[in-house]
A and B are shown apart, each in its own frame.
Chain A
Amino acid sequence: EVQLVESGGGLVQPGGSLRLSCAGSGFTFSDRYMDWVRQAPGKGLEWVGRSRNKANGYATEYAASVKGRFIISRDDSKNSLYLQMNSLKTEDTAAYYCARGGIRPFPSYYFDYWGQGTLVAVSS
């Protein structure tokens, strides 16, 4: 059974940092592109960014709203995906989900499994 479990959320002051983790199981983690998606309270879904797999150089993509502040990384030996969030703003307050993507650049792939999410609150 595929499982994704996020952790690391919490309350942080504006300008602070936080690191989220996502542990995957039930599939070959190293084969997969992995993504972060967030959802502000009462709002819709916003894609945050992606880590490609080793075969594609672990290259990353980011939404403009987080580029330069957030860093996505992974440790395939631990079946884990990370989101380092720096210079946090109040508008980064959201539930953060990790989601499983495809295994190659083409054909394009959707998010077939999602974690349960971890809450990040940015407030003074």
Chain B
Amino acid sequence: DIQMTQSPSTLSASVGDRVTITCRASQSISSWLAWYQQKPREAPKLLIYKASSLESGVPSRFSGSGSATEFTLTISSLQPGDFATYYCQQYSYYPYTFGQGTKLEIK
């Protein structure tokens, strides 16, 4: 199975900050990577697909980059609603696998 490793596990930041979350795959997944945002007691929400494509309706302050085994999710200027947990997911090979999550907290 492909292991997805996110860092950091927890990130403390302030409104207006620029933050970056990293996701590493244990083998190449080309660009078959998605990022999801999950708030407490809610379902995950798709933000980014194919590593860098912004899902319709998602604010442009979210961006993704990377390929093969190294990927990043960047939020250019944090807004209050962005404090949540973020997951990366590879959909290149079965079984599909997720990173362990990055909890973005208010500093």
Interfacial residues, chain A to chain B (CB-CB below 8 A): 35, 37, 44-47, 50, 61-64, 97, 108-117
User: How many interface residues does B have (CB within 8 Å)?
Assistant: 25
B residues in contact with A109, CB < 8 Å: 91
CB-defined contacts of B34 to chain A, threshold 8 Å? 110-111
Query: Are B32 and A45 closer than 8 Å at their CB atoms?
Result: no
CA distance A114 to B37 in the complex (A): 12
User: Cβ of A35: which chain B residues have Cβ within 8 Å of it?
Assistant: 96
A115 to chain B, nearest CB (A): 6
Report which B residues bind A (CB closer than 8 A).
1, 32, 34, 36, 38, 42-46, 49-50, 55, 87, 89, 91-92, 94-101
B30 to chain A, nearest CB (A): 9
| Residues of B with C-beta under 8 A to A62 | 95
Chain A positions within 8 Å of B50 at CB level: 110
A45–B46 contact, CB under 8 A? no
